[in-house]
Amino acid sequence: MKVIIVGGGWAGSGAAIAARNAGAEVTVLERTDMLLGTGLVGGIMRNNGRFTATEEMIALGGNEIFETIDANCRHKNIEFPGHKHASLYDIALIEPAIRNLLVSKGIEVRLQARMKDVEMDGEKITAVILDDDEKITGDVFIDATGSAGPMGNCGKYGNGCAMCVLRCPSYGGRVSLVGKAGVPEKQGKKADGTIGAMSGSCKLFKESLSKEIVDMLNNTGVAVIPLPEELRKGEGALAKKACQQYALKEFNENIILLDTGHAKLMTPYYPLEQLHQVPGFENARYEDPYAGGKGNSMRYMALAPRDDALKVKGLDNVFCGGEKAGLLVGHTEAIVTGTLAGHNAVRYALGQELLVLPETLTVGDAISYVRQVMDTEEGMTKKYTFSGSVYFNRMQEQGLYTTDIATIKDKVDKTGLTGVFSKKLA
């Protein structure tokens, strides 16, 4: 039983571990030279409802990936405006830690292996074709290619290629497995109806900031620096962001930095000449994207139709996870959906009933809720995350948000699914 995962971001990595634990031979194909995709420049975990989702996944047996993240955090249990009990992983250490985890489990990780096409038999994918024409066959396929870029989309819907960590000019742009198999995909929209959403943070070299700011970041993980009135972007700019959980007025009135190794600037882009006018930022310089003064990557460009087991509609042996599975934003969200997709790929190969996570758990409720709202026009203009905005409000209204680990374990136990993602099915 061979599961082929296209895309080695957080969703592909989560899917790989779950499929391997369930008993499959697993290959991850990643087009760049590193795993984790947009997660290479992320870092925020466990903020608000992500804490609940993380602990639910740990109780469900999806613990290995979250334990590895927890072990590579620079800061734990910190607060910043609108966000409680967050952890920040170290963006320099996390990729090797996850790659080593995958390899140690016997997962084949193929880097610089970009899928460019598929071979089909009816509604089944039988093989994927790489850029160098190598053909890789498998029994079940998972699309974890994300929704970012490629460059043409960043040019058409954003401010041009900002030279982000995805490095499309060097490795070739994102290619969607589901799209290549002929299934029409959807595009997310902004509140004004235009296509896509701009990534919501940049990284600054810490060395380019004042000692005072760097000390604050190193000691507390957070720096909140008030912006003079004339340098504020206005709340309209916040509406363009993919991560709407940070579209709060505090993010307009202040520069908010988080310490993920570099200084994570919580804004999609900010002209350098203006940034240089803020005390402490006189020498500021962007680390990611290189043109962070002008723009950022565009995302939510290709979303697959799927059911709540994460099986792609219109295809027989294909599952999806991460941003490909809908308008869910974030590493935790990608790991949750990736893990379920990986587990169900093995159930499918064995002819077993597919697992749908119950709606008494926030991880099950989110997967089902996002599928439903994506059928409405208004729903397509929003983004959903455990950590804020629409879906965190829903978590609180439905009584799904708690930070009490014993309560979470008990809730998972009542579903009869404790440890399900760590059990071998074959």
Ligand X SMILES: Cc1cc2nc3c(=O)[nH]c(=O)nc-3n(C[C@H](O)[C@H](O)[C@H](O)COP(=O)(O)OP(=O)(O)OC[C@H]3O[C@@H](n4cnc5c(N)ncnc54)[C@H](O)[C@@H]3O)c2cc1C
Q: Which residues bind ligand X (CB under 6 A)?
A: 6-12, 29-32, 37-39, 41-44, 114-115, 144-146, 148, 166, 174-175, 199, 201, 297, 322-324, 329-332, 334
In what helix (H) or strand (E) does residue 424 lie, and over which residues does it extend? none
DSSP string, 296-340: --EE---B--B-TT-BBTT-SSEEE-GGGGSSB-SHHHHHHHHHH
* C-beta of 63 vs 332, nearer to ligand X: 332
Cα(209)–Cα(221) distance, rounded to whole angstroms? 15
* C-beta of 173 vs 417, nearer to ligand X: 173
* C-beta of 129 vs 350, nearer to ligand X: 129
Shortest distance, position 421 Cβ to ligand X, whole Å: 17
Cα(215)–Cα(102) distance, rounded to whole angstroms? 35
Cα(95)–Cα(100) distance, rounded to whole angstroms? 8
* C-beta of 148 vs 263, nearer to ligand X: 148
Length of the chain measured in residues: 426
* Burial (0-12, 13-18, 19+ Cβ within 10 Å), 315: buried
- Residue of this chain nearest to ligand X (CB atom): 322
Tell me the H-state helices in 181-279.
Answer: 211-220, 235-238, 250-253, 272-275
CA dihedral over 314, 315, 318, 323, signed as positive or negative: negative
Shortest distance, position 90 Cβ to ligand X, whole Å: 12
In what helix (H) or strand (E) does residue 160 lie, and over which residues does it extend? none
Shortest distance, position 337 Cβ to ligand X, whole Å: 8
* C-beta of 30 vs 308, nearer to ligand X: 30
In what helix (H) or strand (E) does residue 126 lie, and over which residues does it extend? strand 124-130
* C-beta of 392 vs 417, nearer to ligand X: 392
Shortest distance, position 288 Cβ to ligand X, whole Å: 7
Closest CA to 267 of 282, 247, 283, 284: 247
* C-beta of 248 vs 329, nearer to ligand X: 329
Shortest distance, position 352 Cβ to ligand X, whole Å: 25
Q: Are strands 140-143 and 44-45 parallel, antiparallel or unpaired?
A: unpaired
Shortest distance, position 32 Cβ to ligand X, whole Å: 5
* C-beta of 166 vs 284, nearer to ligand X: 166
Cα(380)–Cα(374) distance, rounded to whole angstroms? 5
* C-beta of 98 vs 417, nearer to ligand X: 98
Shortest distance, position 44 Cβ to ligand X, whole Å: 3
Cα(178)–Cα(306) distance, rounded to whole angstroms? 11
Shortest distance, position 426 Cβ to ligand X, whole Å: 25
Closest CA to 342 of 358, 318, 326, 365: 318
Closest CA to 221 of 87, 81, 318, 42: 87
In what helix (H) or strand (E) does residue 118 lie, and over which residues does it extend? strand 115-121
Shortest distance, position 178 Cβ to ligand X, whole Å: 11
Rounded to an integer, what is the distance from CA 214 to the centroid of its chain?
A: 27
Shortest distance, position 363 Cβ to ligand X, whole Å: 15
* C-beta of 39 vs 82, nearer to ligand X: 39
